[in-house]
Each structure stands twice: as C-alpha cells, then as structure tokens.
Structure 1
Amino acid sequence: MKNYHILKGLCKRIFFIGSGNFWYEDEVIGNDNSILYKMLKYILFSIYGFMTLLEIMAALIGEFSEDEKSDSVTFAVSHTIVMIKIYSVLSNKESVKKLIHDLIKVCEIHEEESLMKKKYRIIKINVVAYFITVYGSAACFVFEGVRKTLEGSHFVTVVTYYPQFGDNSLTATVVRIFMTIILFMLLLTMIMTVDGFTVVNLIIFKYKFITLRNYIDKLRINFENELKENKSKIAAKKLTKGLIDGIIMHKELLRLSKEIDKAFGTVMALQLCQSSGSAVSLLLQIALSDKLTLVAEMKICFFVVALFFLLGVFLCNAGEITYQASLVSESIFYCGWHLSPSPQQRHLGKLVLLAGAKAQQPLVMKAFKMLELTYGTFLLVVRATYSVFALFYAQNQ
C-alpha cells in the first residue's frame, strides 16, 4: 500500500476515537473544529485525566490491600506517562500534519510496489502484535477482577481513590466497571494516537532511505547500460541530473528526521522511562509476592512484555533508520561517476565528494537530545532494568 493510504487510514481511526484530525487535507476526513467534536474531545480527555488523578490519589493516600496498592502505583505511573505522551502529540498537531505531508511526498515517485508491500506487512505485524500484548494484559486484569468477585471480594481492574477497598456497594461496583471501560478506551487512544502512530511514521521513514538507496543504485545500472550503447555524454548528463535529484531527496530526509524528533521525540523518550521504571515495579510484584494467582502473574507478564515490545519497536526502528541512512554514502560513491568521460567525471566527482561527505555524518535519533535511540540502547535499558530489579530484590530478601 502507498504511504498516502496507510497514513490516511490511520488518521481516520485517530479522528473517530476523538483525538482530532491529523490529516493535512482537512476536508477529507472530518472537521475537528466543530462544537460537537470539541465537546466530545473535551469530555473524553477530561474523563481520562480525572481517572489518572484518582489513580495518583490511590497510590499516594489510598488504603488498599497489598496487591491493589501495587496495581495503583503501577497504573498511576504508567497512565501519567501515557497522558503526557498523548498531550505531546496533540499539542504538535500542526507539526504532525506537515510531517505527514512531507513524508508522503519525498521519494514518492521512486517507490517500488514490492518494497511497499513488504513495508505494509511489517507495519501490520508491529501494530497488531502491540495491540494484542496491550489488550492481552488488560484482559488479564479483567479476568483477575472476575476471579476476585467469584471468591466473594469485589470486581476491580483500575485501582482509583474512590471507591475505597472496603466499599462493595452497587455504586462502587458500577464505578469500577465504568473505570474498566474507560481503561479500554484510553488504551485504544494510546495505541492509535501515540504509540502506533509513532511506529508507523518510523517504519515509513526507514523505508524512505531504502527507496533512496535503490534509486541511486538504479542510476548506476542505467548509466552503465547507456555507456555500453556509446551514449557517454547523454549518460553523464542523466547521471548528473539523477544524482542531484537524489541529493535533494537525501537533504529532505535529513530535515524530516528533525521533524520526527519534534513530533514524536517526547513519546520515545518517555517510553524509555516508562518501560524501565514500570518493569522494575511489576517484576518485584512477581518476585516478592507468594500469593499471586496464575492470572495475576499473566497480567503482570503481559504488561512487561507490552512495555518492552513497544520500546524495542521504537529503538530498533530508530536504529534501523541510522543504519539505512549510513548506507546512502556507499550508494552515492558507487553511482558510476568514475566511468564517465573526463570533463563530466571531474564535475561528478566533486558532486559525489560533497554528497558522500554529507551522507557519512551519522543520523542518530536521540531521547532528551542525549540518549541515542539504537539497538544498543535497547539492550542497555534491558540490562539496567534487570540490574535495578536484582538490587531491590536482594534488599528485600
């Protein structure tokens, strides 16, 4: 599928769940400036914010059982970070619109159908797998709540300051079920508006560099074929023009890397904090508690898997962008300039030298403008998380 259709379809889903219109053609999807839509959006995010506030209050001053207290801390931290991530994307809506437009247009005429199919398949695998892990964790929280109800306790998934632990009234039960529904809605907003949106843009950006490399490689093949037909001057002119077009596309891609960081940099940076911090808390729940049921252990495991799966998708795709960008300089150098006639060769050589030098500068995406988003960082975070978990576990033995 073309990037246009992928991003347009995603923006439609984001619009329908109440997060606004991120598509650069405003009239195509819908009007998010209408009074009715603004009211819907305000009510929806006010409920999300109110639920998060109640979770924070539960974690700080609530009196709950040991397992519910642990869940309240986990939810309070995670959902606070989620709300900040959502706000960071919504506040940059105009920047995201421009990014989408520019990301679609750059290299568009040189995209190959086979490569686009591969890209679309990878996007589906990443987003669907993340969707399953997130809602798998949420489903386990629901099953655990049902199990508690069957054992004579009360149903609970999201632990909020109200209702209190000992309140088993009908009103309290209705509130707990309502909060569960809001949780599932918040997770959908998180996946579509923030995490899935970021992943899709990263993967598309990665394939733009692959498209650029393929384009430059084709320049060399076409150049060599025309040389065999004794069309050296015409071939040199075509190579020069094609190389200049490639340099312009490369310059545009480098500019877009800054736009991606502006639009989604906060999301990726906060995910580093969320994955490591929440994972330590969740792993300690498993290690230090001897009363966890199988479902309770599953809900924690799903939660940890979802956190690290998303972090891995972010960092590995960011690292793949760095890798694919680093290969552009090699493609430029081997574009065939050295085979052209002497006058054109001198001109092409200077062009290749400048373009190759620019392409050799490492394109590394960073969190908080300090921590590199690469494969190595993912392994570093995993090892650091385990080290912190092992330290706390040893102190509590």
Structure 2
Amino acid sequence: LVDISRLKEVYNDLDVEKKMMKKSKLYSSAFCGMCVFSMLMYTIDPLVQCARKGTTFNTVITVWPLVEDSSTSANVGRFVWNLLWWSMMSRVLGVYAFVFSLTSCMSHQFIDLQSYFLSLDSIFQSEKLSQILKERKYEEAFIIGIKLHYNTLQCVESTKNICGWLFSGQIIFNITLLVLLLSQLLKSEGNLILVTAVGGAAFWIITGTGLFMCSAGDVTVEASALSTAMYSSGWHRCRGASSLRVRRLVVTSMVYAQRPVVIKGLGILSLSYQSYVSLVKSTYSVFSIVFQKIK
C-alpha cells in the first residue's frame, strides 16, 4: 500500500490543498448535518405523540421494553436505547466522513498531478540553464511525474478495496430505505409531523447519496483530465535526440493516463452523476411496482 501523504512530498500545490480541505469539510458537514436532522425529527415525532396522545416514547423498537409498557423502568430503558442509537449512528457518520475525505483526497491528488505536469513548462523559461540541461531536467521531472501517477493509481485501488463494501452497501441500503420511506409516506394520513420526518429523511437520503456518488465520481473526472496536462507540459521545446525520447515517453504516459479510473459499487455501477440519476429513477420504479402489487 502507498501512503497518500507521501505523494505530497515531491510536489504539493497549496491552492489545490486548500480546495481539497474545503471540499472535504463541506461534503462531510453537509452529509452529517442531514443525518443528524433526520435523527432529530425521528426523536421529536415520538415525543410529540407522547405529549398529545399519551403513547410511549419509542424511537427504536427493541425486544425490551414492549411498545405498550409504560412503567418507569421501561421509560428509562427507552431513554438508554435512544442514547445507544445516537452513539451507534455517530460512529456510522464518522465512517462516512472518512470516505468523503478519502475520495476528495484522491480527486484532488489528480488535480495536483495536473498542476505538476503543467509546471514543467517553466523549466524552459529559465535563462540560467543551457538547452541540454533544460531537456535533461525536464525528462527527469517527467519521469518523477509518471511515478507519482502510478502511486496515485495504487492509492485509488487501495481505496476501492477498503471502501468497496461501503459503496455497495450504501447503494442497496438507500434503494431499500427510500422504498420503505415512500411506502410510509403514503400511510401518513395527513400527519404533518410524520410527513415532515419521512419526507425530510427521503430528501436527505437522496441528497446524501448524490454527495456520496458525485464525490467518488470526481475521481474519474479529474483522472481523465491528466493526459491533457501531460500534453501541455512543454515536451515540444525539446530538440534532437532528446525530443525523440521525450515524445515516446509522453505518448506512452498519455495512453496510460487515458484509461478510465472508475470507482464502482456492487462491482458494476460506476459512481458518478449519471449513475446517481439512474439510481434515483430505479428506486421510484421499484416502489411503483411494489405499490401496484400491494394495491
């Protein structure tokens, strides 16, 4: 495995790093905020029902206490279960925040590589070096860039191996949960609190899934732009035998860089904006089929 942080030892564009930090915080904060809001709504709804109708406070249905049990020990147990539920969900949110940070780091690493190759053209702007030294320095720097690209691809593969189960599980979970929420929404019978809770949860799930899939899709988008940066690195300024070697090196590197870098869920679904739209449509289609059969 390649340490992601070591990729920055050779070259690190501070502007790209700032954008990466900003995006990671934005995606993580937005996703966690949406999840916390949904959890709050599912906590408030039982409290309102408890105050209005005198029902018991139930956010999580457990073996004990029973739903109808209104004893003091049962109420204390429900409060403890609610705290445990929040504790469990906070760990889940931490995992998702880590995934957002990881995919954001990968996409911006490709942006950093683009910046590196584009900066190679400045080698030929120096007036202190001869043409031969410039060509030699450029060739050495380009080879370093190739190694950085190779190590970055290894990091992407490690990310797929580590987070593949999470990407697949998230897709299955979201489709199932959205179908259940839509079914629950039909049975709300005009209950404003329940409609708000269910509708809000469905909206946040759809939005959160978009953040999740688009964040992974950014890796594919930025990786596809790397070959253009290689082409614009200044290879045309080399002369003679150096030009022949560099052209072969650049062409080979560009061909390798043009191979799609795709993060997939379930082993077949590419995580991108297009697949996100298809996923939302398929969820509604599944719900329509299930609803028609029930009806």
User: Which amino acid is the alignment partner of residue 175 of structure 1?
Assistant: G
- Opposite residue 210 of structure 1, the aligned amino acid is I
Query: Is residue 2:30 matched to residue 1:148?
Result: no
TM-score, length-scaled by structure 2 = 0.94
Q: Would you say 1:218 and 2:119 are equivalent positions? A: yes
What do you get for the CA RMSD once the two structures are aligned? 1.8
Deviations 1:187-211 (A, max 9, x none): 110011x211111111011110000
Cα deviation, 1:89-111, whole Å, max 9, x if unaligned, reads xxxxxxxxx66xx1111134422
Q: Deviations over 1:123-163 (max 9, x none)?
A: 11111111111111111111111112112111111112322
Q: Which runs of 5+ in 2 are unaligned?
A: none
Q: Paired residue for 2:278, among 369, 373, 380?
A: 380
Amino acid at match of 2:79: I
> Does structure 1 retain, via aligned residues, the 8 Å contact 2:160–2:263?
yes
Q: Which moved more, 1:294-303 or 1:375-384?
A: 294-303
- What's the counterpart of residue 131 of structure 2? 232
1:183 maps to which residue? Answer: 85
State the one-letter code of the partner of 1:360: Q
Q: Compute the displacement of 1:282 (Å).
A: 0.4
Q: 1:159-170 residue pairs with structure 2 within 5 A?
A: 159-170=61-72
Aligned to 2:211: 313
Q: Does the alignment pair 1:139 with 2:40?
A: yes
**1:364 and 1:372 in contact (8 A); partners too:** yes
- CA distance in 2 between counterparts of 1:260 and 1:230 reads 41
Aligned to 1:342: 240
List gaps (5 residues or longer) in structure 1: 1-97
Contact 2:209 2:276 in 1 (8 A): yes
Q: Is the 8 A contact 2:188 2:194 kept in 1?
A: no
Once the two structures are aligned, what percentage of the paired residues are identical?
A: 23
Q: In 2, Cα distance between the equivalents of 1:111 and 1:281?
A: 46
Aligned residue pairs: how many?
Answer: 294
Q: Deviations over 1:302-337 (max 9, x none)?
A: 322332333222211221101111111111122221
Q: Which amino acid aligns with 1:372?
A: S
The CA distance in 2 between the partners of 1:322 and 1:114, in whole Å, is 21
Cα displacement (A) at 1:249: 0.3
- The structure, 1 or 2, with the larger RCO (C-alpha pairs under 8 Å, 6+ apart) is 2
Kept in 1: contact 2:113–2:145 (CA 8 A): yes
Cα pair 1:366 1:373 within 8 Å, conserved: yes
Of the three residues 247, 269, 274, the one matched with 1:371 is 269
1:285 aligns with 2:184: yes
SS at match of 1:110: coil
Q: Which residue of 1 aligns with 2:12?
A: 111
CA contact (8 A) 1:280 1:388 kept: yes
Q: TM-score, normalised by structure 1?
A: 0.71
Aligned mates of 2:218, 2:99 — CA distance in 1: 15
Deviation at 1:229, TM superposition (A): 7.1
Whichever residue aligns with residue 356 of structure 1, its letter is M
1:125 aligns with 2:36: no
Identify the match of residue 257 of structure 1 among 134, 156, 166: 156
